[in-house]
Amino acid sequence: MSGRDAFERTLAAIYDAMLDDARWPAASALIDEACGVGGNDLFVAEGPEDDRRGLFVGIYSRGQRREDLEREYLEHYFAIDEGVPRFRQLPDEGLAHARDLYTAEELKSSPAYNEALPRGACQDGLRVRLHGPDGSRFAWNLGDPVDSDGWGASRVAMVTGLAPHIRQFVCVRQALMRADARSATATDLLDNSRVGVLHLDRRGRILEVNDRARDILRNGDGLSDREGTLRARAPADQVRLERLLGEALPASNAPALSGSMLLRRSSVLPPFIVHVKPVAAPQPDYGARYVAALILIAEPGRRHRIHPEVVAATLELTPGETQVAVWLAEGKSVREMARATGRTEGAVYRHLKQIYRKQSISRQADLVRLVLSLAR
Mean pLDDT of 116-142: 91
Burial class of 147 by CB neighbour count within 10 A (0 to 12, 13 to 18, 19+): exposed
Grouping H, G, I as helix, E, B as strand and the rest as coil, residue 354 is helix
pLDDT digits (tens, 9 = 90+) for 1-11: 678 899 999 99
Tell me: pLDDT of 285 over 80: no
Q: Determine phi and psi for 254, rounding to 5 degrees.
A: -65, 150
Cα separations (Å) of 27 from 18, 33, 160, 301, 316? 10, 10, 17, 32, 38
Give pLDDT, residue 275: 93
Tell me: pLDDT of 270 over 90: no
Tell me: pLDDT of 372 over 70: yes
Give pLDDT, residue 209: 94
Domain with CATH 3.30.450.80 in the chain: 3-178
Q: List the Cα angle 174/168/7 in 5-degree steps.
A: 140
Cβ contact 132:171 at 8 Å: yes
Range with lowest mean pLDDT among 46-50, 270-274, 280-284 = 46-50
Mean pLDDT of 322-326: 91
Give pLDDT, residue 39: 96
CATH 3.30.450.20 for domain 188-298, yes or no, is: yes
Rounded Cα gap, residues 152 and 24, in angstroms: 26
Beta bridge partners of 56: 43
Tell me: pLDDT of 240 over 70: yes
Cis peptide bond prior to 284, omega within 30° of 0: yes
pLDDT digits (tens, 9 = 90+) for 163-221: 999 999 988 888 887 777 766 778 888 888 888 999 999 999 999 999 999 999 998 98
Q: pLDDT band at residue 276, thresholds of 50, 70 and 90?
A: very high
Domain with CATH 1.10.10.10 in the chain: 308-372
pLDDT digits (tens, 9 = 90+) for 78-98: 989 999 999 999 999 999 999
Mark 5-39 as b/e (b = at least 16 C-beta within 10 Å).
ebbeebbbbbbebbbeeebbbebbbbbbbbbbbbb
Give pLDDT, residue 52: 56
Rounded Cα gap, residues 238 and 231, in angstroms: 6
pLDDT > 90: percent of the chain: 57
Higher pLDDT residue, 67 or 51? 67
Give pLDDT, residue 287: 61
Give pLDDT, residue 284: 57
Domain with CATH 3.30.450.20 in the chain: 188-298
- pTM comes to 0.73
Tell me: pLDDT of 51 over 60: no
CATH of span 308-372:
1.10.10.10
Mean pLDDT of 35-59: 76
Higher pLDDT residue, 153 or 298? 153
3-178: which CATH architecture? 2-Layer Sandwich (3.30)
Give pLDDT, residue 178: 73
Grouping H, G, I as helix, E, B as strand and the rest as coil, residue 240 is helix
Mean pLDDT of 354-370: 86
Mean pLDDT of 223-239: 93
What is the layout of strands, in order, in the sheet containing 94-97?
64-65, 53-61, 40-46, 137-142, 126-131, 94-97
